[in-house]
A and B are shown apart, each in its own frame.
Chain A
């Protein structure tokens, strides 16, 4: 059988999540595999990320390298969609009003 990577993805967009696994997006599995491979023992959780997020945003807006200044916050933001979404919103809010 000839497999077509693009058509696989189109099918997912068309039919949404599938219960058979056939509609599973291969990119999601790749992302999961990368997430596992890069797992580190010193990751911080969402609470610690939230504690430091205001500071992280200000460092970012000051044009400094926030990922170097606060690497664990950056690592958490790379992994956690909830926190990343809030970080982006906070960045947008603060940069617009300051």
Chain B
């Protein structure tokens, strides 16, 4: 593939050189996606070609939004990755309804069963308080939508994108909804005298 500057990519894709530039870009994206998805069993060469074909259409339609903050090819690859994951998630979850994975009892756990027995007695006591409070606040302080999204994403591991599709919203809005839920739970916990620092200490640091 001939080296092109960002400006050359844009000019070629918009001008008389479009078909040559598209062929180069297609080959580049196919190679990149091939590496990125190499470990996935549900993906073969023809699916990657399909992903790239769809991505090229999106890229051509979005050229005006490229701000030049990265290489053009990195930006284009980002769009191809998004197309690929959107489609792979859709296929993976297509037979799963939100109701079937979000059951009312999903957060109906017994706090004591969830306590880490390898923790010291003080930490166990703290975990008990936090889990009991968390469970109560999730039940009483969140909206049905927030609770449903929380269980689907955090407990059942469903992609945000798939939950959003089923809730008639988009991924960005769903993230905001979950963020609002977390903020509310955090504030309510603080109002009950449970600080974030104590909560982190009770459950160990991330990682």
Contact = CB atoms under 8 A, between A and B. Distances in A.
B77 A80 contact: no
Contacts of B134: 29, 32-33, 36
B32 A17 contact: no
Nearest to A93: B32
Give the interface SS of chain A, mostly helix, strand, loop or mixed: helix
B200 interface: yes
Interface residues of A, number: 48
A11 B200 CA distance: 26
A5 B82 contact: no
Give the interface SS of chain B, mostly helix, strand, loop or mixed: helix
A39 B203 contact: no
Residue among A24, A41, A80, A93 having the largest count of chain B Cβ atoms under 10 Å: A93
A35 B73 CA distance: 34
Interface of B: 28, 31-33, 35-37, 69-71, 73-75, 77-78, 80-82, 84-85, 89, 101, 103, 105-110, 112-118, 130-131, 134, 150, 153-157, 159-161, 171-173, 175-176, 179, 182-183, 185-186, 189, 196-197, 199-200, 202-204, 206
Interface of A: 3-5, 8, 17, 19-22, 24, 26, 28-39, 41, 43, 45-47, 50, 52-55, 57-58, 78, 80-82, 85-86, 89-90, 92-94, 96-97
